[in-house]
Structure 1
Amino acid sequence: MEAESSIAFLSPMRLYEREKPFFSNIPFFEIEGARQSNLRTLHEPVTVHDIRGKENAYTLEQNGFQLVKEEAFGTSKDFEDDSWIMKEYEPKVKEIIKRATGAERVEIFDFTKRKMMPGFEPGSYGTKSASSPIPTAHCDNTLGSCLRRVMRDMGDEATILLKERVQIINLWRPLSGPIKDWPLAVCDYSSIDHRDMIATDMIFPHYDGEVFSMIHNKNQRWFYLSDQNPDELWLLKCAETDQSVGMAKLCAHGSFRMKNLPLEFTPRESIEFRTMVFFPSVPK
């Protein structure tokens, strides 16, 4: 069924004509005149279309996102242990992405757990172990940040790897289900006007990243999967070096609040892995 809700988008301010959007993960609270961010957002009404029953109709190549079905592995409790995730689950993530894409090599560079906790606003840091869902339309990388990530993380192999096709793909899955509130919404790449994707600096203590913020456009087409369960996984393309016509280059995404919720439901809990994906053959 369609869901009528809202998603937060970057405000189309003239400020960004002279100043690049940014957000710092380094606290500047005690520095006079310093700004943590210059991001301003607006919540816009959005119709989010349900792909339930049409799960196989959307692909990474054409739409920038794809749903895959895998037997659920691990419990919500298991995923509280980062060492268990890295030892037991990360190898499964790599194999899932290889099978879905035909890639020969997948390297995970981080993961994020999210949980909607009572008393925390969406987009907040939540607890030490999990952040809250992000209600803002965005893409986790630009092509430039993808290339810099490979150069930074892959050492002496980077130059060789970048001679072939490279992607950044995120794997997103619930840790419990079905999801009733704050599901993930994904935007069909073919409906995106690239003038609405605005490069945004993300500043961390150990590196400077770059993501895309998104300005709202009525032509954008948004999708979600109703009652998503832990055996239903989103693959999101966040960067693509194949710039040929017709190839999806990215997937804008964000979470949204459902209306008419049941009286009792399990708050959303999810995990997202960010990976570098290499084609076709690379040094072993």
Structure 2
Amino acid sequence: MPDVRGTIEYLQDLELYETEKPYWCFLPPKKGFDPDKERVDNLEFEDHNVAISDIRGLEGDVSLENYGFQVLSHDTEIPAFTAADAVEAYKRETEQLLMEALGATHVKCYDLRLRKNIVFQRTEFDLNNPLHTEGPARGAHNAPQVINRYLSQPEKDAFLRIGYRVRIVNTWRSLLPVLEDQPLALCDSRSVGETDLMAADRLVPDRVGEVYYLKFNPKHQWYWLSTQKRSEPYAFVMFDTKAGTHARFCPHVSFKNPLAGAKVPPRESVETRSVVITKES
């Protein structure tokens, strides 16, 4: 198993954040605005070189329940994301995948993000464009509760009660046959302390959301999947209504693969975010 050492980007533990909450502002399209050049946040990161263990060969032991993530085996029927209907088809496919993999009663895939590891030359940033492609996300992070926004009132009445477990589960898939450039690293939930996570506001034109960034702790245990195939998507948990000692979140971030050759194709990936509801006995 090719365990590696790689650089993980953490949020700095700054005195600033004692009086000013971390934030990231997503501005609507505007002529002359370049989100790659203009500062729209107060996030300051720092790099730490850490050991990253390979999941390859451990897939049967690594699960959503104990680590906060797992590797699924699934061939997508969506060959490329060149039209908006492909985005909707992939969301429906993801819902079916999570229904089967997690034994869910109800799944709602509410968001999809396309990413490519290149420098973008653009003057507009439109979050309403379903084919909008971003670079890799910065900073090890974890998303909070968004359940109330994406469940209808009848769904809330049916599922937000005793006997049902509600989770936010992400999937992440390479769009290349084999991924070598900028793979995703996932942090074992059991190695993260309560004070390691810092809440940050994420502002978009119609609402204010919240995400948690990870501060450095040498106890963190990181994992990756070497030579990850298109048919090996990750599933990882962002939020869980069920109390207990099981994994309820999974910080994650991409890193530069020290084993990748100089001419490997840039990483292309698709990730989804879903509300997953299971009936508890």
Question: Under TM normalisation by the shorter chain, which class is it?
Answer: 0.7 to 0.9
- Say whether residues 1:250 and 2:249 are aligned partners: yes
* Paired residues of 2:185 and 2:224 also in contact (CA < 8 A): yes
| 1:159 Cα deviation after fit | 4.2
Describe how 1:8-157 pairs up with structure 2 within 5 A: 8-26=9-27, 36-75=40-79, 78-87=80-89, 89-117=90-118, 119-120=119-120, 129-139=132-142, 141-142=143-144, 146=145, 149-157=146-154
**Equivalents in 2 of 1:209, 1:160: separation in Å?**
25
**Equivalents in 2 of 1:153, 1:52: separation in Å?**
34
**Equivalents in 2 of 1:226, 1:80: separation in Å?**
28
Identity of aligned residues (%): 30
**Alignment: residue pair count:** 264
**Equivalents in 2 of 1:22, 1:6: separation in Å?**
23
**Equivalents in 1 of 2:248, 2:207: separation in Å?**
24
Q: Which has the higher helix share?
A: 1
| 1:135 Cα deviation after fit | 4.1
SS at match of 1:93: helix
**Equivalents in 2 of 1:46, 1:85: separation in Å?**
35
Tell me the equivalent position of 2:263.
264
* Paired residues of 2:92 and 2:109 also in contact (CA < 8 A): no
| 1:57 Cα deviation after fit | 1.5
- The structure 1 segments of at least 4 consecutive aligned residues displaced by more than 4 Å after TM superposition are 27-30
Structure 1 range deviating more: 130-139 or 21-30: 21-30
**Equivalents in 1 of 2:14, 2:44: separation in Å?**
8
Tell me the equivalent position of 1:216.
216
CA RMSD, aligned part only? 2.4
Counterpart of 2:117, as a letter, is M
Describe how 1:198-213 pairs up with structure 2 within 5 A: 198-213=198-213
State TM-score, norm by structure 2. Answer: 0.87
| 1:191 Cα deviation after fit | 0.6
**Equivalents in 2 of 1:159, 1:216: separation in Å?**
40
Q: Structure 2: which 5+ residue stretches go unaligned?
A: none
* Paired residues of 2:109 and 2:272 also in contact (CA < 8 A): yes
Deviations 1:49-96 (A, max 9, x none): 111111121111111001111124332xx2222212313x22221121
* Paired residues of 1:80 and 1:129 also in contact (CA < 8 A): no
